[in-house]
Structure 1
Amino acid sequence: MNKIDLHMHSIYSIDGEYTPKQLVKMCAQKSVKVMALTDHNSIKGVAEAKEYAEESGIHCIPAIELDCTFESATLHVLGYGINTEFEDFNQIEQDILKQEQVASIKRIELVKKLGIVFDTNEAIKLSKDGYISGEMIAEVALKHEENRNHLLMTPYYEGGDRCDNPYVNFYWDICSQGKAAYVPVEYITLKKAIETIKAAGGVSVLAHPGNNVREDKEFLERIIKEGIDGIEVYSSYHTPNQMAFYKEQVEKYSLLQTVGSDFHGKTKPAIEIDSVQCNSQGEKIYHSLMEKINSI
């Protein structure tokens, strides 16, 4: 049982394209036996995913991905085996949505100051509940031919070195923390994220650390000391060297290891469900995770 994908997003994530039912169908088509719907700060799609997964003979682990901060860095923490009736999750989701609605206006202004042309109304049409992400801005901006000659935009067009996942790469390069169009949002702390997941009966796992922690051993050690239960070793963001590095770290600190594609759909077109191989360790990853969940 190596067909396992513990990280994917539905329409209940601001940047997800498919419904939970559609994701289950895609998992079934790829013979995935274990899945987890990990929407950003939301558990709204879990019940639907579990219902259709059961019909398809797939084990769907209830989960969430919480945005949080630690030492000024923005991190993502996956929570597995959670009680989806835990009210704190809804409160976190609503708080972030309100902040993002305000941040969206500032984000648009900052991107336009860079000389990038796009139709604000078109971006609004793509928005969910007034939240306009960097990925949505990119989707609209890339339709404007005049942006092809803009130095900041050429990498995202066909043939450019960032065209594999142009929307999310635009976000990372232009709208993420430390970049020109970054607008801060006050997320919960890493400690709060871990405590919330634990209070909901779940297991906390650091998502795709190669993307923001990289191979900073000292920083990673401080994160681990906050009480994280595991690390997403096998990720679509990780190079083979990073997977080997994080495999070494989970063994060193006796942590769980997980695997996830971080599938979103059009936001990350180069990433597919079950696109990350975990070197035939799927069954071990699954049983270790379930053993930890059941022990709480």
Structure 2
Amino acid sequence: MNKFIDLHMHSLYSDDGEFSPSELVRKCKDKGIRIMAIADHNSVRGVHEAKEVAKTHGIQYITGIEIDCTYKAINLHILGYGIGTTGEDFTKIEENIMQQELKSSRKKLELTNQLGFNIYQEDLDKLSSNGIYTGEMFAEVLLNDVRYRENELLKPYRREGIRSDNPYVNFYWDYYAKDKPCYTEIIYPTLEETLGLIKKNGGVAVLAHPGQNLKGHYEVFDELVTKGIQGVEVFSNYHDEETIRFFLDKGKSSHLLITCGSDYHGKTKPAIELGETRCTINEYEIEQQLKQIGLIEKC
């Protein structure tokens, strides 16, 4: 059965995204996706462009954002669907995080070079449009630097290496995520603040890829339900069959919206394709839920 829903992808308004909102819409059209949402990291700057282009291609577009937040020292990603974007709430979140990221980028450069590298800032500036350097950018610079072709730290990320499926993002997870050697702290809003913000702006709050962010802490899921999450991204590229079954059962028993998303970024995650959500149920069930709560029109 052809897949036609993808509610999680990133444009160039995410620091680790590659394509413009318009390009993503056209790619969705080519893939046969007819219900889509771009959920950029802490940003809604691409919403207007995507909505307008989606109309011309007959695609039902759901306004979205992916907000970084914390709960009990766990970093979570909350997807906000159907949000209003005319106010300043989301702009303020983006600006706050951006200012922190600019400062931490210089620290990342220092920490990365302490691993035995000698990266130049100008090489990173070729990849960054705003002075923010992501772990994926460091990976791209290092893996394309002839000086480090035989570097032992980089071998797992090269062709046929054990981390070569998505080398850039895997390098990020191994070196820049929390508790890793090049981690730099960013103060994100709390879960409660994030849920309140999404609700205030008329949206639906969905927990993104829980198998990834709740790894080792699945017992916390029930607490998140009591806190007010309204949906769960059961179907994700990061979830194996066992994880899907667990969160599908949890989502249904808690009467939550069940969603699916590829988390497509482009070159940052080359193993992930648009529409590749690992959805194991009939997507018409998800479409019906989206209609029932007003995220898409009833036809």
Q: Same fold (TM over 0.5)?
A: yes
Q: Give secondary structure in 2 for the equivalent of 1:152.
A: helix
Deviations, residues 218-249 of structure 1 (Å, cap 9, x unaligned): 22222222211111000011111111111111
- Which residue in the other structure is 1:112 paired with? 113
Structure 2: distance between partners of 1:225 and 1:143: 47
- Which residue in the other structure is 1:79 paired with? 80
Which runs of structure 2 are paired with 1:33-112 in the superposition (5 Å)? Answer: 33-112=34-113
Contact 1:8–1:39 (CA<8 Å) still a contact in 2?
yes
Deviations, residues 82-140 of structure 1 (Å, cap 9, x unaligned): 11113100000000000000000001111111113433211122113111110111100
Q: Give secondary structure in 2 for the equivalent of 1:178.
A: coil
Contact 1:147–1:154 (CA<8 Å) still a contact in 2?
no
CA offset at residue 280 of structure 1?
Answer: 4.1
Contact 2:36–2:61 (CA<8 Å) still a contact in 1?
yes
Contact 1:162–1:169 (CA<8 Å) still a contact in 2?
yes
Q: Give secondary structure in 2 for the equivalent of 1:249.
A: helix
- Which residue in the other structure is 2:206 paired with? 205
Q: Give secondary structure in 1 for the equivalent of 2:126.
A: helix
Contact 1:203–1:293 (CA<8 Å) still a contact in 2?
no
Identical columns (%): 45
Larger CA deviation: 120-129 vs 252-261: 120-129
Q: Which amino acid aligns with 1:184?
A: E
Larger CA deviation: 127-136 vs 17-26: 127-136
Q: Give secondary structure in 2 for the equivalent of 1:126.
A: coil
- Which residue in the other structure is 1:10 paired with? 11
- Which residue in the other structure is 2:125 paired with? 124
Structure 2: distance between partners of 1:263 and 1:133: 17
Q: Which amino acid aligns with 2:110?
A: E
Structure 1: distance between partners of 2:103 and 2:291: 39
Question: Runs (4+) of structure 1 moved beyond 4 Å?
Answer: none
Which runs of structure 2 are paired with 1:122-271 in the superposition (5 Å)? Answer: 122-214=123-215, 216-271=217-272
For structure 1, the 5+ residue unaligned runs are none
Q: Which amino acid aligns with 2:69?
A: C
Q: Give secondary structure in 1 for the equivalent of 2:239.
A: coil
RMSD (CA atoms): 1.6
Structure 2: distance between partners of 1:38 and 1:234: 15
Length-normalised TM-score, structure 1: 0.95
- Which residue in the other structure is 1:23 paired with? 24
Contact 1:148–1:157 (CA<8 Å) still a contact in 2?
no
Q: Give secondary structure in 2 for the equivalent of 1:67.
A: strand
Q: Which amino acid aligns with 1:67?
A: D
Q: Which amino acid aligns with 1:89?
A: F
Contact 1:119–1:141 (CA<8 Å) still a contact in 2?
no
Structure 1: distance between partners of 2:199 and 2:46: 20
Contact 1:80–1:293 (CA<8 Å) still a contact in 2?
no
| Cα distance change of structure 1 residues 212 and 280 upon mapping to structure 2, 3 Å threshold | closer
Larger CA deviation: 97-106 vs 107-116: 107-116
CA offset at residue 192 of structure 1?
Answer: 0.9
- Which residue in the other structure is 2:274 paired with? 273
Structure 1: distance between partners of 2:216 and 2:181: 25
